[in-house]
Amino acid sequence: MLKSFIEVSPESDFPIQNLPYGIFSTKENPSTRVGTRLGDFVVDLAFLDEQKLFDQQYGFFAESSLNRFMSAGRETWRRIRQRLTDLLSEGGDTVWEEAMRVRALIPVSDVQMHLPVAVGDYTDFYASREHATNVGIMFRGKENALMPNWLHLPVGYHGRASSVVLTGTDVIRPRGQVKPKDAPLEFTASRQLDFELEMGFFIGTGNDLGEPISIENAHEHIFGMVLLNDWSARDIQAWEYQPLGPFLAKNFATSISPWVVTMDALESFRVQGPKQDPAPLPYLKSDSANGYDITLEVTLQSATMDEAQTISCSNMKHLYWSLTQMLAHHTVTGCNMRTGDLCGTGTISGPTEDSYGSMLELTWRGEKPIKLSNGETRKFLQDGDTVTMKGYCQGDGYRVGFGEVTGKILPTIDR
């Protein structure tokens, strides 16, 4: 098994098999720059570039976002990944001296992470059959759980890139129009604030306007993935969403994890997705294994709890629609994607009650409150609650993980 020249725990999300990318700074050097993560260290790629340890000087590692690097294309991504593997592996390239290694490897406790990508556009999909079915049963009944189009195309909507935030950013409870059953319309703080367990994927290289991305080539355009929490105000959504879909209910915050895990790092964990019946139209049809075996976990910790409590365990392999199908569908009209565009998978729910990816499902619209370890109960999220999502792929003696995305609910601001 490939090992790095520094010891990394088998339980770490960041062994040499991962090598994700993020943007960081330090107190000693406040300039934002690109790094990769290896165990408990951040490797300063701008420093490596400055020391001419790559095949050429790229320049884009000194940037405040990954965008220029991402736009370079898959051949460059793979060349840099291979070079980093050579430099960081046990018994690998010894071209750099011990003094260089000391400067290049920074303890993770000494770094400040930043939003990894300058997000252009943000699109959120609705790709989990289990989630769509659960929501459909709640609102329309079992007979009409799935809308007629759902099994034929990956449903999506355009979200807000401006409110995509980094893990650790507090989320202020939103206000909006709410129409309780048998009560007058009111403008109030949301009483049904929710999380959504999702994965996000970033577009590395885009396409020209009018030129769709084919299902066969879609994977070449996807740079990597992050954990994503698409915070949602269910009561605001229930009143506003017809006929055009969610608007204010989802535009106030979308949290992502700081490390972008590349598709090459995830290649070993590709799996065949669920059988699609009816068969999709030709532009969405693929026989490749385009699903991913990524274990996902959600914990909740109230303001009075000493430790977080696991409330959901799911897996990305449950998604009905694949990333490549989402991208092919998004561009089939000729829509041009750009470097830094972010797409969310939609809530990832599994087949069992403990694998549901939202409070809406876990509590079945508030009918079955969750019991917390300190005696509290939850129908939806309350002020002071902290939601944390984690995800990883389990290999033989190592794991490729995403770290975590976390956010704390703060009271609404009255103005």
Tokens standing for residue 278: 């009816």
* Cα–Cα distance, 300 to 308 (Å, whole number): 5
Contact 4, 90 (CB under 8 A): yes
Q: What are phi and psi of 356, to 5 degrees?
A: -70, 145
Tokens standing for residue 14: 């960041």
Residue 160 burial (CB < 10 Å; 0-12/13-18/19+)? middle
Collapsing DSSP to helix, strand or coil, 70 comes out as helix
Alpha-carbon distances of 317 from 14, 132, 342, rounded to whole Å: 21, 16, 20
Residue bearing tokens 């939806």: 380
- Parallel, antiparallel or unpaired: strands 370-371 and 377-378: antiparallel
Neighbouring-strand partners of residue 89: 4
Residue bearing tokens 């400040």: 112
* Cα–Cα distance, 192 to 362 (Å, whole number): 13
Residue bearing tokens 């995509």: 164
Catalytic hit among 131, 219, 318, 329:
131
Contact 247, 240 (CB under 8 A): yes
* Cα–Cα distance, 51 to 100 (Å, whole number): 9
Which residue type does 150 have? W
* Cα–Cα distance, 389 to 313 (Å, whole number): 10
* Cα–Cα distance, 323 to 340 (Å, whole number): 16
Q: Check if 131 is active-site.
A: yes
Tokens standing for residue 179: 């129409």
Which DSSP helix (H) or strand (E) runs through 77? helix 74-88
Q: What are phi and psi of 215, to 5 degrees?
A: -60, -30
Tokens standing for residue 308: 């977080």
Contact 230, 254 (CB under 8 A): yes
Active site residues: 131
